[in-house]
Chains A and B, each alone.
Chain A
């Protein structure tokens, strides 16, 4: 006894039946010519390739690239006070901060303490930007640079000096409204 599918059967809707035989052959020939015309149009249209190392697509202002550490422009003191909130917020656990006391002879930051060691392991960083959010003094921000590849892992540990310095090759930034 055959199984009765009942009301669950869905009617298959098919497109209009195309002509077979000689008519179908004629249609296939015409469709081939139409395809050839389409590709010829693509031949005339401009190339969309970006020649990457020579030309770069500018990044958006909120692009999360390599971190930067900042200093006060007037006094030249570091904004970072070594509070380690960024390291606590980091989900990839790639930031290492060792704080030290500021003394009148050796004044590095504006606060009570400063970061004696500030390292970011770029091979672990996931570029989530939580460090930027956690920072109470806007001392660390995400920059625009994304060309971070290197030949060995130890070179990817960025020290405080590297993060404070201007990047050597800057990624182009998109202007407003671009």
Chain B
């Protein structure tokens, strides 16, 4: 008898699991066009312009038009590319992003159709590890995509991605260790419940800052978007992609932003809890979580509008020489405080 990899905290009958996964999938994919549109509109306002406003009322149908355009394009394939890897890479990217989304808890256990149902994809006893495992698989999407394109810009982009993502994942993981030590659990729902008294953004403020900075690097967002660096690398690992495959990469990128925002919400901003101890009915919980996610997304856009892209050596030395020692110190200090006060 093999030991299970992870203990599932709570599970429902099989039909409820299927409905739940479909709903989480649908909501997650609906958030992507919303975030895309938010980004373009808010970034426009930051730069004193309107942003897209031609398709539909206030340009609201622009993402739909984009998707139709991308899906109706030719599935182009460079002659130098490695066929099946070239096709597989974007699929890996989006699958890992959607799999990570399953972990974000949108609410506590609720009574739906007489069945107690957790408002999340799955609650496992290794929450953050699961997310990082799928984050690691997402690297393959980026690296294989760049390498199998057979183009030097794609290759350079994927090499940068490999170095950048690996060095920042360490700091990001270490930043979460502080939260895990404080909450003394790896289950994301239990971490949220442990924040009933005080959100972890207050006691774990340094961890929160490190997590946010590392998240920018993890999701390839400016100022750490060296992987795509349009000015020098054309488009990075996705240079050779077009049509539906490009749409997959694009979706995965924004889905990653949502997942990271959801993770930050869960870990530091008290998940589905409202501030000042307001006790809302259970059906409000998902809206609270989505609102918090969108606040994080706005912050991502705000930073994109502000900071210029870093130079590559600055990026690496910042990751290894500043963030990693800082997060290690944070973990040490948290551990000592938890042991002393316990």
A residues adjacent to B (C-beta < 8 A): 25, 32, 35-36, 38-40, 42-43, 45-49, 51
In the assembled complex, the CB of B260 is this many whole angstroms from the nearest CB of chain A, namely 19
Contacts of A48 in B (CB 8 A): 48-49
Contacts of B305 in A (CB 8 A): 39, 42
Which secondary structure characterizes the binding site on chain B?
helix
Contacts of B322 in A (CB 8 A): 25
Question: For chain B residues 46-61, which have a beta carbon within 8 Å of chain A?
Answer: 46-50
Most chain B Cβ neighbours within 10 Å, of A38, A40, A43, A51: A43
27 A-B pairs with C-beta separation under 8 A: A25-B322, A32-B307, A35-B306, A35-B307, A36-B302, A36-B303, A36-B306, A38-B306, A39-B46, A39-B302, A39-B305, A39-B306, A40-B302, A42-B46, A42-B48, A42-B305, A43-B42, A45-B48, A46-B48, A47-B45, A47-B48, A47-B49, A48-B48, A48-B49, A49-B48, A49-B49, A49-B50
CB pair A43 B306 closer than 8 Å: no
Contacts of A38 in B (CB 8 A): 306
Chain B interface bracket (under 10, 10 to 19, 20 to 34, 35 or more): 10 to 19
B residues adjacent to A (C-beta < 8 A): 42, 45-50, 302-303, 305-307, 322
Contacts of A25 in B (CB 8 A): 322
Contacts of A39 in B (CB 8 A): 46, 302, 305-306
Residue of A nearest to B53 (CB): A51
In the assembled complex, the CB of B121 is this many whole angstroms from the nearest CB of chain A, namely 33
Q: A36-B306, A38-B306, A42-B47 are in contact. List 18 more A-B contacts (CB 8 A).
A: A35-B306, A35-B307, A36-B302, A36-B303, A39-B302, A39-B306, A40-B302, A42-B46, A42-B48, A43-B45, A43-B46, A46-B48, A47-B45, A47-B48, A47-B50, A49-B48, A49-B49, A49-B50
Contacts of B307 in A (CB 8 A): 32, 35
In the assembled complex, the CB of B325 is this many whole angstroms from the nearest CB of chain A, namely 11
| CA of A51 to CA of B50, assembled, Å | 9
Contacts of B303 in A (CB 8 A): 36
In the assembled complex, the CB of A29 is this many whole angstroms from the nearest CB of chain B, namely 9
| CA of A46 to CA of B45, assembled, Å | 8
| CA of A36 to CA of B304, assembled, Å | 10
Residue of A nearest to B299 (CB): A36
